[in-house]
Amino acid sequence: MTVSKDENSLHRKSSLGRIAPVEAVLFDVDGTLCDSDPLHFYAFREMLQKIGFNGGIPIDEEFYIKNIAGKNNDGIIRTLFPNDVEQGAEYMNEKEAMFRRLVVEQLKPVSGLYKVKKWVEDHRLKCAAVTNSSRINAELMISMLGLTDFFETIIIGDECEHPKPHPEPYLKALEALQVSKDHTFIFEDSLTGIKAGVEADMPVVGISMRNSEQLLMQAKPALLVKDYNDLKLWLALDELVVRGDTIANA
């Protein structure tokens, strides 16, 4: 089969080969481990409509993606309630409580998550969760997904001096795992998160299940896939295994 120049170019861009040998994988949580964005969107829409935000007109997904998705709570509060941050924090607490109820009732993993979990475990790679979510939310979602023992550590953006899109949370994860950025890659789903990973000088695999490919490509991920079942992802991971790039048998 003849491979076009464009296809060859895409293949080079998607390669994770520069991180050989692989030592660790870092995961965002919301939208990357689990399909939580619809739950966040619902909770924000209900809370904001209840308090008459935007004249009582419900927010749409475009507004959510632009102003909320991937951001930490302090940043969201300052965006939505610039003139009353204290009152905004109270509204956020109400929204978060609603979100946690929805998590217990409805949370679902991103398609193929447990397949990539097995790949990480089979290759004995270190693993951390790195999120702008609050610790209580992150730990609840990870627990509901059955991943509490999968992660060696959870890095919370609000517990860092700078949350994503600053690279600090990802750099702290490297420090906690005692691994090099030259041997680590990241799974992310938001523009904010991909920017953080790229700024931390690690290749990022973008998950485009909810956010548009055009939007995510602005942050220059190494590879963009629909979910963890995407053939492009497994071709890239198989390359690492075939070339002996992992340290599974070290």
Just list the catalytic residues.
28, 30
Integer Cα distance of 17 and 119 in angstroms? 17
Which residue reads 């420090």 in tokens?
175
Query: Rounded to the nearest 5°, which phi and psi values hold at 127?
Result: -150, 135
> Strand 24-27 and strand 184-188: pairing?
parallel
Strand, coil or helix: 43: helix
CA distances, 172 to each of 43, 56, 86, 178 (Å): 30, 41, 29, 10
CB 19, CB 183: distance < 8 Å: yes
Integer Cα distance of 212 and 88 in angstroms? 29
Strand, coil or helix: 3: coil
Integer Cα distance of 205 and 197 in angstroms? 10
Buried-state track 125-143, b at ≥16 Cβ within 10 A, e below 16: bbbbbbbbbbeebbbbbbe
Q: Give me Rg for the CA atoms of the chain.
A: 18
